[in-house]
Homo-oligomer: A and B are copies of this chain.
Amino acid sequence: MSDAADDPGLTDPLADVIGYQLRRASALAMSDLSAALSAENISPIAASVLLMIEANPDQTQTRIGAALAIQRANMAPLVARLEEDGLVRRKTPDGRSYGLVCTARGAEKAAAVRRIMNELEDRLFGDMSDTMRRHFINALRAVREKG
């Protein structure tokens, strides 16, 4: 029997359930990231879209969204907001699709986002060895192939 992390007086039946620990760790990391990014007035998800557009200019928003597991329908307001904020521009190579590109302001914002993300990564995972970090990432990515 293991103690519950949050309450040593209780038994924790989920202490060794990886899926559960994954959820708790992810929720906490996201909450921290959300708080840190609020200084830049951008959400974690919008930030991931911005970084993906910057790394892959002139792609459709459907394709950018697919790479992030975000549905077309949910990309519409995300991209509209990024454009409103002057971070992203929509080029129109044909009449039914866009080619998304980062503006200069978007690139600055992306740099700020990366800085914040790196600080958080250091704080949360900085004490892991490089090999452990590599194993960790590989294990996480492997999960997605088994879903």
- Cross-chain contact of A56 among B6, B11, B15, B135 (Cβ < 8 A): B11
Q: Which of A55-69 contact B (CB under 8 A)?
A: 55-56, 59, 63-64, 66-67, 69
CB < 8 Å neighbour of A12 from B26, B55, B123: B55
Task: State A125–B107 Cα separation when bound (angstroms).
Answer: 38
Query: With A10-B67, A11-B55, A24-B69 as given contacts, are A124 and B137 in contact (CB-CB < 8 Å)?
Result: no
CB of A17 to closest CB in B, whole Å: 6
Candidates B19, B59, B69; contact of A29 at CB < 8 Å: B19
Write out the residue numbers on chain B whose beta carbons fall within 8 Å of the beta carbon of A132: 135, 139
Q: Give the size of the chain A interface in residues (CB under 8 angstroms).
A: 64
CA distance A48 to B4 in the complex (A): 13
CB distance from A147 to the nearest CB of B (A): 4
A137 in contact with B18 (CB, 8 Å): yes
User: In the complex, which residues of chain B have a beta carbon less than 8 angstroms from the beta carbon of A84?
Assistant: none
Known contacts A10-B56, A29-B147; A19/B120 CB under 8 A:
yes
